Amino acid sequence: MTADLLVIAAIGFVAQLVDGALGMAFGLISTTALLSLGIGPAQASAAVHTAEVATTAASGISHLYHRNVNYKLLATLGMAGVVGGVLGAYVLSNIDGRAIRPFIAAYLLIMGVVILMRAARLSPVDQDATVSYAGPLGIVGGFLDAIGGGGWGPMVSSTLIGSGHAPRRVIGSVNAAEFFVTIAVATTFFIELGTAHVQHILALMAGGILAAPFGAYVARYLPPRLLMAVVGILIVSLAIFQLAQAPC
């Protein structure tokens, strides 16, 4: 394995460790790394989502084992996310999706601030809650995830946690649902673009699969208030980075 592939495998490990523990960031971190290697947005998103088929499967199983999953939320998000993901992958395969990134980043910045405020002022609940808007949220999250090469976790997890729902259950359910979203997105990209960058995909998979069990463990045992604060800081940081990279 070349030095570049070892770096990508390490990025996959770190990205999945963060994603499994906080419910977000594998796609954003991995896509940013591939873009820095000169790979185009659609091809980078395709590679990341193909790798995520394996990493999200491992992460979902780990969260199920640690009882971090709300099954009703999992089913709703999974079905809705597939619809949004297929649509987003088709759009990105045929147009330049970079124009929408500043608007996504602005939304995430707002949600990150909301989460930090809740972590500072309120005690997050640690029980399941009925989420009536999970379906529409899943469609939007799946669409933006395919368009941006990552964003399912930040969009869906941040909205649910920001609404006051149990961080551990949200993170586990969102991670498990992402498996179905990534299959749909990766399949759509394969139909539209074909297969490319297989070595990069395998390197991301290897690193991500190794990290998956650790992320689920952290999500289960990290105190809810601290977990919410870390999620908020991560979202704000990613949003600021995305805004700084956006074209003027």
CA distance 218 to 136: 29
pLDDT band at 78 (very low <50, low <70, confident <90, very high): very high
HEC assignment per residue over 98-162: HHHHHHHHHHHHHHHHHHHHHHHHCCCCCCCCCCCCHHHHHHHHHHHHHHHCCCHHHHHHHHHHH
- Residue 152 has a pLDDT of 82
pLDDT digits (tens, 9 = 90+) for 190-233: 887 666 667 878 888 888 888 878 877 777 777 767 777 877 78
Mean pLDDT of 8-18: 83
